Amino acid sequence: MIVLVDLLLMLIDLTYSILAAVVQTFVRPRLKCIDGELCLITGAGGALGRLFALEFAKEGAHLVLWDCNTAANERTAELARELGVRVHAYTVDLSRRASIYEAAERVRAEVGDVSMLVNNAGVVAGRRLLDCPDEILERTLLVNCHALFWMTKAFLPQMKAKNHGHIVTIASALGLFSTACVEDYCASKFGAVGFHESLTHELLADDLDGIKTTLVCPYIVDTGMFAGCEIRKELRSLIPPLQPLYTVQQSMKAILAEQLMICIPRIMYIPFLTRALLPWEANLATYRFMGGDKCMLPFIKNVEMKTSNGVINSS
């Protein structure tokens, strides 16, 4: 009897969730106020990180900016300070666990408890698996995936103590479905998605409803990180690379609405669903038709031309 009651309640919750999602598609949800919140953004010196910093500053949040590029990070800090918020910039190597924990201790001592954590930093090797040195492959996984564990362990305890906070993971559409020749990046982003979802389930199971999570999965963003990547030319106008500002603004709407997940653009939900529903061969046929099997080859060629200068693609 208890099982039947629980089943009925589950069906009611399921129906309500679907209807609420449909309504939110057409009605702008209420956005929360984050004025005075302390927001930490990783990869703040990059294109997306800088835009996130400025958008959070416009909402009145005080900022803690982390990046391995000191000059770029300080430039972001300067721009954010012009908007009238407190900003603290730290040079942190996210590929080193000790660097994360040391910087986290400094933040707690010098600034205070972080209430919003935006895990934005990301890198990609841009080389075929067999041509890529092990240490570069490891760096992709350390920055894009492993750092999420250390960041969360560093800042979640304070959020749990107050039952207040928000953890944002900037993943990728390539964390929901894969493409050829970027095994390191796909593996790291699949890991990021899995980590984020499991963390969300844990928080809900512990009744920590004051700690929100948002998973952001954008298509390729035109930041130069995947310069040269292109699908079949006849379809490029249908799914063009995303503009950075548009990507960040859509992400901010989802964060402030406390939306659990967002794919940008919405058409990215289609391959996410078909991957699960259709046979492998059917997905493969669509993938080849769209040029997904060779879309990364121009990007890899561009990276090979830069390797002599020691350039590593990062967001």
**Nearest CA among 142, 141, 147 for reference residue 117:** 147
Q: Give the active site residues.
A: 185
What does the block give as tokens for 48? 């997306």
- Between CA 207 and CA 214, with CA 213 as vertex, the angle to 5 degrees is 150
Distance from first CA to last CA of the chain, Å, rounded? 53
